[in-house]
Amino acid sequence: MTFDDQEYLRRYPFIDRILISSEEIQLRVRELGNEISRAYQGSSPIFVCILKGAYPFLADLTRCVSVDHEVDFMAVSSYEGGTQSTGVVKIEKDLKGNITGRDVILVEDIIDTGLTIAHLMELLGTRNPRSIRVATLLDKKPARIKNVELHYVGFEIPKEFVIGYGLDYDEKYRNLPFIGIMKA
């Protein structure tokens, strides 16, 4: 744990504990960046950041990628059906560029039920990209409802609500440099 992480814990007493420290995140993101760089030699992929949560991951990941690439952004919100996400997502902001014939890497903060990413892959698949892969910082596997293939995963985590590094609670705490768990 870095001095910064400790300082945040002191300032934010509602955080119960740090699940993944900022150092662990930075090391793992570098590994993923290297892996992606090796896999996409000779290609110029488009990283699609799923807003809002994936923005810190996109920024850190792309700075560890050594092949030429572009970034684009998409914002989605899910239609809620009772208490559970239905997986039907509303596109709040669509891509600026054309992905036809391109290698696309969807960048997500967390895959929970898998419904959102499955829907997005289906939607973007209709635009005839050359390939679509998923890079997610977190995989909350025990919560999965829809099976999706995840190509680049930072960390598998238990079925707990987490905040930080892009992930929010009521639109707050996205700025924390680590992944934390709030007090119950």
Q: How far is the CB of 179 from ligand IMP (least distance, A)?
A: 9
Catalytic residue among 112, 139, 168, 170: 112
Beta bridge partners of 133: 105
Q: How far is the CB of 146 from ligand IMP (least distance, A)?
A: 8
- Specify the amino acid at residue 181: I
Interaction between residue 136 and ligand IMP (CB under 6 A): no
- Residue closer to ligand IMP by CB (options 99, 137) is 137
- Specify the amino acid at residue 47: F
DSSP secondary structure code for residue 14 in this structure = T
Q: Is 139 a catalytic residue?
A: no
- List the x/- string, 151-180, binding to ligand IMP by CB under 6 A: ----------xx----x-------------
Contact in structure between 145 and 115 (CB atoms under 8 Å) = yes
* Stretch 78-97 residues interacting with ligand IMP (CB under 6 A): 85, 87
Contact in structure between 176 and 8 (CB atoms under 8 Å) = yes
DSSP secondary structure code for residue 143 in this structure = G
Contact in structure between 96 and 72 (CB atoms under 8 Å) = yes
For binding to ligand IMP (CB under 6 A), which residues are involved? 53, 85, 87, 108-116, 140, 161-162, 167
Catalytic residues: 112
